[in-house]
Amino acid sequence: MMTITKKIAIVGAGVAGMALAILATKQGHQVSLFERGSNLSSLGGGVTLWPNAMFVMQKMGLDKKVMQVGGTPCMMRQFDQHGLLQAEFDILTVNSLCGFPSVAVLRRELMSLLAGALESLGREITFNCAITAADVMTLGQEFDLVVGADGRMNSVIRHALYAENVTPRYHGFVNVIGVGRQRKGILNKAIDDFRGQGERFGIVPVNDGWCYWAGAWNAPAANDHPRAYWCDELHRRFRDWPDPVQDMLLSCDSASVSGVFVHDIDPLPFWHQGNVLMIGDAAHASLPTSGQGACQALEDAWHLTRLLKESDDLESALQGFYQQRQSKTSAAQWVGRQVAKKVFSEQPEPLLPASTLSAAELSRFWMQGLT
Ligand SMILES: Cc1cc2nc3c(=O)[nH]c(=O)nc-3n(C[C@H](O)[C@H](O)[C@H](O)COP(=O)(O)OP(=O)(O)OC[C@H]3O[C@@H](n4cnc5c(N)ncnc54)[C@H](O)[C@@H]3O)c2cc1C
């Protein structure tokens, strides 16, 4: 079917907005991308692009490039806080069942790859442009479709669709993230997850000794703290934890450290009204313990462009988008909450294997809907 070119406004140049801008432009749509920041955000030390995300990276023509700047973890290992191995999970088996690799990449590298791809398509991002609720109305009149890819906490598009009725939910733990280096001579292609009671430290190798990491612990919600507070707190809490954790803390580039009181949102009954739609975290933010936030944001971008191609009727494309995406994104949100409950609740459950799913089950879940 010939796609009828649409004028699409995208609010937010995060992973979801950038991927949608690339895929929709490639499909011939006329895209405008608005970002409130003065440059691209690189919040989060890094992300692991599991095979479902690499499927979308391939559709954008970026799979080989991301493999050049990223790393390919082979194994996921779970330890207790003394370094005793509790469970292992073979990532390569799931990759081969899915037919795509898993790639760990620093956030700044991922964002710059997406920005480069957009630039080579001749599209520019309009920076320093914070869209307001009033702007959403105007954009709705000027464009065929307005897509809110404006993140989890204060999405103006979600506000336009739901007024005050959606409050991001705090789950009682803080996530402090950063970038560090493994000690010279250690060649480690395993994602290592050290867990104590109500505390966790995860390390993801990327390449050339670089890793991104996250330390997390139970904490009441509070206002943001300065970077120095998070650095002191990390050193205090994890000072007796195993060597790989110490390596990260000692080599840590303190400019990369940030702490987030992480919220998610409950699954929502709709994501669009008229020609205004939300995608990514704005629609279905999950906890970092799902490991799927950025991956689902990428999937959204691919599914939306596919549906716009399959149907010229916008309403049926947007309804189809919700129907096809809702159960998978809700499952990712649920997994994030279950893992968080095991590690961070007031009475944490005993430590359990990294994944109770078999490789076959996990690969079926990840690749669901991607053909
Ligand atoms: C601490 C932490 C660690 C994480 N680690 C991982 C991980 O390892 N793996 C993974 O897959 N996911 C991870 N995630 C989740 C992942 O970061 C998100 O799911 C993903 O970035 C969602 O992308 P998005 O584009 O929907 O939103 P965002 O990345 O939040 O992008 C939203 C963009 O919209 C812009 N914006 C907001 N409001 C406006 C406005 N009014 N006007 C214009 N622009 C606006 C923002 O400036 C931002 O650039 C993590 C999240 C957190 C908080």
**Among protein residues, the one whose CA lies closest to atom 27 of ligand 1:** 151
pTM: 0.96
Q: Measured in angstroms, how far is the CA atom of residue 240 from the centroid of ligand 1?
A: 32
Q: Residue 352 pLDDT > 60, yes or no?
A: no
pLDDT-derived band of residue 81, with 50, 70 and 90 as boundaries?
very high
Query: Which residues line the pocket of ligand 1, CB cutoff 6 A?
Result: 11-17, 34-37, 41, 44, 47-48, 130-131, 149-151, 156, 175, 177, 260, 262, 280-282, 288, 291-295, 297
Mean pLDDT, rounded, for 351-358: 62
Mean pLDDT, rounded, for 54-64: 98
Q: Collapsing DSSP states into helix, strand and coil, what is residue 347?
A: coil
CA-nearest of 31, 37, 33 to 17 is 33
Most confident of 99-103, 247-251, 361-365: 99-103
pLDDT-derived band of residue 85, with 50, 70 and 90 as boundaries?
very high
* Ligand 1 atom with least separation from CA of 258: 1
Mean pLDDT, rounded, for 271-288: 97
Q: What pLDDT score was predicted for residue 371? A: 85
Q: What pLDDT score was predicted for residue 1? A: 57
Q: Collapsing DSSP states into helix, strand and coil, what is residue 183?
A: coil
Q: What pLDDT score was predicted for residue 44? A: 66
Q: What pLDDT score was predicted for residue 123? A: 94
* Ligand 1 atom with least separation from CA of 295: 11
Q: Residue 126 pLDDT > 60, yes or no?
A: yes
Q: Measured in angstroms, how far is the CA atom of residue 41 from the centroid of ligand 1?
A: 8
Element spanning 114, H or E: helix 107-120
What domains appear along the chain, each with residue ranges and CATH number? 7-169+264-367 (3.50.50.60)
Q: What is the pLDDT of residues 173-224, one digit of tens each?
A: 999 999 988 876 566 799 999 999 899 999 999 998 899 999 999 998 888 8
pLDDT-derived band of residue 90, with 50, 70 and 90 as boundaries?
very high
Integer Cα distance of 297 and 333 in angstroms: 13
Q: What pLDDT score was predicted for residue 165? A: 81
Mean pLDDT, rounded, for 94-104: 97
Q: What pLDDT score was predicted for residue 67? A: 97
Integer Cα distance of 156 and 130 in angstroms: 10
What is the percentage of the chain residues whose pLDDT exceeds 90?
A: 83
Reading the block at residue 79, the tokens are 């330890």
Number of other residues whose CB lies within 10 A of the CB of residue 90: 12
Q: What pLDDT score was predicted for residue 43? A: 66
Q: Give me the chain's average pLDDT, please.
A: 93
Integer Cα distance of 178 and 164 in angstroms: 33
Angle between helices 293-310 and 15-26 (to 10 degrees): 30
Q: Measured in angstroms, how far is the CA atom of residue 245 from the centroid of ligand 1?
A: 26
Q: What is the pLDDT of residues 299-323, one digit of tens each?
A: 999 999 999 999 989 999 999 999 9
* Ligand 1 atom with least separation from CA of 17: 25
Integer Cα distance of 4 and 313 in angstroms: 10
**Among protein residues, the one whose CA lies closest to atom 23 of ligand 1:** 15
* Residue positions counted in the chain: 371
Q: Residue 22 pLDDT > 90, yes or no?
A: yes
Q: Measured in angstroms, how far is the CA atom of residue 87 from the centroid of ligand 1?
A: 30
User: In a mutational test of the pocket of ligand 1, which residue from 170, 265, 271, 281 has the highest number of ligand atoms less than 8 Å from its CB?
Assistant: 281
Q: What pLDDT score was predicted for residue 350? A: 57
CA-nearest of 217, 201, 176 to 346 is 217
Q: Residue 95 pLDDT > 70, yes or no?
A: yes
Q: What pLDDT score was predicted for residue 2? A: 58
Q: Measured in angstroms, how far is the CA atom of residue 192 from the centroid of ligand 1?
A: 24
Phi, psi of 287 (to 5 degrees): -70, 155
Q: What pLDDT score was predicted for residue 185? A: 58
Q: Residue 153 pLDDT > 90, yes or no?
A: yes
Q: What pLDDT score was predicted for residue 183? A: 78
Q: What pLDDT score was predicted for residue 42? A: 66
Sheet with 30-34, strands from edge to edge, namely 125-126, 30-34, 7-11, 145-148, 276-278, 272-273
